[in-house]
Amino acid sequence: MTARLPLPDGYRVGHWTDADARTGCTVVVPPPGTRGGVDVRGGGTGSRELEGLSPLANAEGPTAVLLTGGSAFGLAAADGVVRWLEERGLGRQTPTGAVPLVPAAVVFDLGAGVSSVRPGPEEGYAACESAAAGLPERGSVGAGAGAAVGKLFGRDRATRAGVGYAASALASGEIVAAIAVANAFGDVLAENGELLGAPRDQRGEFVRTAELVAAMPEPLDNSVRGPGNTTLVCVCTDASLDKRGCAIVARMASAGIARAVDPAFTPVDGDVAFCLASGSGPIAPPGPATTWRLTVLGSVAASVTAAAIRDAVHQAATDPT
């Protein structure tokens, strides 16, 4: 598993960033014909067009996925993504032309910088213009420009985070990659359980959120009414999956959030995991072979998801403040 393995062929990722206002948006543009699924775990999600990714929905998959700052206001950036895609004839084909389908999810970053500055249509369009193949830009960029983790004591004593990336190649040669925006209420943990990002006590040392909240008779004002929280993930693979398979892999990818974030999926987090699959090969019907294949893909998706979240903290730590 590595952050140096590029995105699967045909995928592009782009960012728009306002470093001064500490906000931005990130777009994932997959190859045409990509299928998609989603898993929603957080209790405070802000989203758009997720229902189209349901296995029961008619559309096969999204034309792009938007991850954005600005809380619910930032969902307006999807309009710019739609316009960019329409100009290029990308979308679900209808008798009157292509209709782009752009599911979107937000992080709350309004308290990070200038709360009146949020991504909108022009910013979503600009993110598409910057979209490129290869290794995505990481750190305090795009939807992660104002991200932080470990916010029990408020943002001032939290750890800066951002956008992370990780990928892994299967024995079959297929690639499973994950782009993550880490903006969690909880801590980000290393593989050995050590704290990578967490609240700091009055001496400036990391403390564990899960241990502190268990000992609190009443919630802190900051933990209930303070900065919002969310971890967003988009898994990208060149494997051949239908929408049901994408939904299963997205659900398994959410386990990666729980491995890297503690506590995860709280009522004050808006955690969402997407899975996009672009493979053009035949999709096997349900059966033992398909069950095993989904088990492998989902297991790897969880691993790269956890690694991408950790990478988000590592990369943000190297960015200038």
Could you tell me which residues come within 8 angstroms of residue 88 by beta carbon, excluding any fewer than 6 positions away? none
Q: Is residue 31 part of a domain?
A: yes
Interacting residues of 174 by C-beta distance below 8 A, sequence separation 6+: 8, 237, 238, 239, 279, 297
Q: Cα–Cα distance between 320 and 67 in angstroms, integer?
A: 23
Instruction: Check whether 218 has a pLDDT greater than 80.
Output: no
pLDDT at 302: 98
Does residue 3 sit within a domain? no
CATH number at residue 102: 3.60.70.12
Per the prediction, the chain carries an average pLDDT of 93
pLDDT at residue 154 tops 50: yes
Residue 225 has a pLDDT of 46
Give domain status of residue 102, yes or no: yes
At residue 199, the pLDDT reads: 95
Residue linked to tokens 């916010």: 151
Q: Is residue 149 a part of any domain in this protein?
A: yes
Domain with 307, as residue range(s), is 12-318
79 found inside a domain: yes
Q: What is the pLDDT of residues 173-190, one digit of tens each?
A: 999 999 999 999 999 999
Question: Where do we find the tokens 């499973």?
Answer: 176
pLDDT > 50? residue 308: yes
Count of domains in the chain?
A: 1
Q: Is residue 237 part of a domain?
A: yes
| The predicted structure's pLDDT at residue 3 | 58
Query: For position 320, what pLDDT does the model report?
Result: 60
CA distances from 82 to 100, 123, 267 (A): 6, 12, 31
Tens-digit pLDDT profile for residues 81-104: 999 999 999 999 999 999 999 999
pLDDT for 246 beyond 70 = yes
Q: What percent of the chain is predicted at pLDDT more than 90?
A: 81
pLDDT at res. 222: 52
* Residue 259 pLDDT greater than 50, yes or no: yes
pTM across the whole model: 0.95
Is residue 34 a part of any domain in this protein? yes
Query: Residue 215: pLDDT band by 50, 70, 90 thresholds?
Result: confident
Average pLDDT of the segment spanning 46-74: 94
8-17, 108-117, 193-202: least confidently modelled range: 108-117
**Residue type at position 305:** T
